[in-house]
Structure 1
Amino acid sequence: MNPSRYWRNDFDDAIPRRVRAGEPDWGCGSKLPRSVVESLQKFQVGESGDGAHLIAKADSTGDTDYAHAVRLFVAEERNHARMLEELLCVAGAVPIDQHWSDAVFVRIRRSMGLRMEIMILAIAEVIALRYYRALAEGDDALLTEVAERILADEVRHVPFQCHRLRVAFARTPTWQRAGIAAAWRGLALAVSALVAVDHGGALRDLGVGKWRFVLETRRLFADASDAAFGQARELADDGLPTSRQPAGVHAG
């Protein structure tokens, strides 16, 4: 199967599954520590972008299947923002309009071409894997349900981005790919450390120390880097996953 068609089908197939799952049980209420509320507010801002620049760049590739998949990816991210907003409201909090970290992240992404935008976006997606796992392992039932739903999407989003990078760098000489991958891992480590500090209070209240978060995110990113740059043995030659959840990219 054409790789882009695979991902188009993957995102299409997720729609009826989401419909069948229905909404989280918003009526059960939620009591969250202030640190977790403030952390969720920041992540909610990051999930709420309209994705217009990414969609435009995807359209410019001329790959209609990929562009379709990107639109559905953006829709899933916006659904995450919607659920986080609802969760905050149930917990007696309100969303915030902006946060400096998201503003910087968006500005950097939008200033670059598609390959670099995906590289930056993938860093955020990998960090989200460990973050939402921490939330899912918390004591609040509604928080756990929402986090698990988002996490189920994120474990698909990471290989989706990694596959596109694999395609984008397919003709890049091996030595250049190795250098790019090393720089990418270094940037990811720096960003994960920044997130750990910025969300340190929430991570502590969720039972995850800052440096544990950084180290475990680093391991996740090493797997993603191998997948993106063609060294994951569990990926087929055409770059398609050999299972529904590509090996080397997991939630924790």
Structure 2
Amino acid sequence: MAAMTQQVAFASWVDHFRKNEQVHAETDAAIPFDKPCEIGEALRRPLIDSIRRFQLGESGDGEQLLRKAARAGDTEYWQAAELFVAEEQQHAALLLRLLGYLGGQPMRKHWSDAVFVRLRRLMGLRTELMVLAVAEVVALSYYGGLAGAGPDPVVRAVAARIVADEHPHVRFQRDRLRAGFADARPPTRAVALAFWWLTAIGATTVVAVDHGRLLDAIGYRRTRFIRDVLADFATLAAAVLRR
């Protein structure tokens, strides 16, 4: 019965991601990338520097994740994961277009992305999804801040488009992680929770410092950003690991 419940849940995620395809096509076509960018240099530079790093983080091919998802043995989850990766790649493409609009160039590598990828690949599917879920929660506040206080309609539209995806992405990771920890004993849950909180605090602090110039420029105080991210993370962690 439990396995059937999980399969039905992931079948609904396959439907969700497939229905998004037409919505995304229409939304993306409406973003006016062809208009001239009139953002002043004082804000444009920190915006470019910040977007470049997020674009790099979104640009992975998801090969490791999909390989681990396939080994999990749930075909519907694997299909949903494949569609999830495709949405993340759409985000990378949108951010690349946004960089072109801003007059910036993509980044080839950054130390924080290298650390994040290495940490994700450290162990199995569960660990990778825990680290990935932290990135999704960070993205909720980052893109939410840009959607509400970005310097022009194009920036706000791209951010709003991405943050609309990140809310269900967090729920998608929650559902799989909840299934993954369903039979875990209390000591395992305690160790996982400690690792997860350390990862969340570390990642959030790095983003607050590394992207601080942009956060300051849009009036999003770094301390508030950290509080917002960790509040969302606490809700996610409780939903996954609390019996």
**TM-score between the two structures when normalised by the length of structure 2:** 0.90
Q: Deviations over 1:117-165 (max 9, x none)?
A: 0001001110000000111122311000000000011011001001111
Is 1:19 aligned with 2:25?
yes
Measured after TM superposition, the shift of residue 109 of structure 1 is: 1.2
Measured after TM superposition, the shift of residue 195 of structure 1 is: 1.0
Instruction: Give the aligned partner of residue 113 of structure 1.
Output: 124
Is 1:49 aligned with 2:57?
no
Instruction: Give the aligned partner of residue 69 of structure 2.
Output: 58
Instruction: Give the aligned partner of residue 99 of structure 1.
Output: 110
Is 1:172 aligned with 2:172?
no
Q: What is the distance in 1 between the residues matched to 2:187 and 2:116?
A: 28
Is 1:128 aligned with 2:144?
no
The answer to whether the 8 A contact 1:109-1:117 is kept is: yes
Q: What is the distance in 1 between the residues matched to 2:208 and 2:216?
A: 10
SS at match of 1:28: coil
Measured after TM superposition, the shift of residue 175 of structure 1 is: 4.8
The answer to whether the 8 A contact 2:69-2:125 is kept is: yes
Measured after TM superposition, the shift of residue 225 of structure 1 is: 0.9
Instruction: Give the aligned partner of residue 155 of structure 2.
Output: 143
Q: What is the distance in 2 between the residues matched to 1:82 and 1:179?
A: 37
SS at match of 1:55: helix
Measured after TM superposition, the shift of residue 230 of structure 1 is: 4.5
Q: Deviations over 1:185-232 (max 9, x none)?
A: 23201210111011111110111111111111110101111222256x
Instruction: Give the aligned partner of residue 235 of structure 1.
Output: none
Instruction: Give the aligned partner of residue 7 of structure 1.
Output: 13
The answer to whether the 8 A contact 1:163-1:227 is kept is: no
The share of aligned pairs that are identical, in percent, is 42
Measured after TM superposition, the shift of residue 22 of structure 1 is: 4.1
Instruction: Give the aligned partner of residue 246 of structure 1.
Output: none
Q: What is the distance in 2 between the residues matched to 1:211 and 1:43?
A: 20
Shift of the 187–108 alpha-carbon distance from structure 1 to 2, 3 Å rule, reads closer
SS at match of 2:106: coil
Q: What is the distance in 1 between the residues matched to 2:125 and 2:199?
A: 18
Q: What is the distance in 1 between the residues matched to 2:204 and 2:66?
A: 26
Q: What is the distance in 2 between the residues matched to 1:211 and 1:10?
A: 34
Instruction: Give the aligned partner of residue 230 of structure 2.
Output: 218
Instruction: Give the aligned partner of residue 78 of structure 2.
Output: 67
Is 1:203 aligned with 2:215?
yes
Is 1:158 aligned with 2:176?
no
Q: Which has the higher helix share?
A: 2
SS at match of 1:95: coil
Residue 48 of structure 2, aligned match among 37, 42, 45: 37
Q: Give unmatched runs, 5+ long, in structure 1.
A: 232-252
Q: Give unmatched runs, 5+ long, in structure 2.
A: none
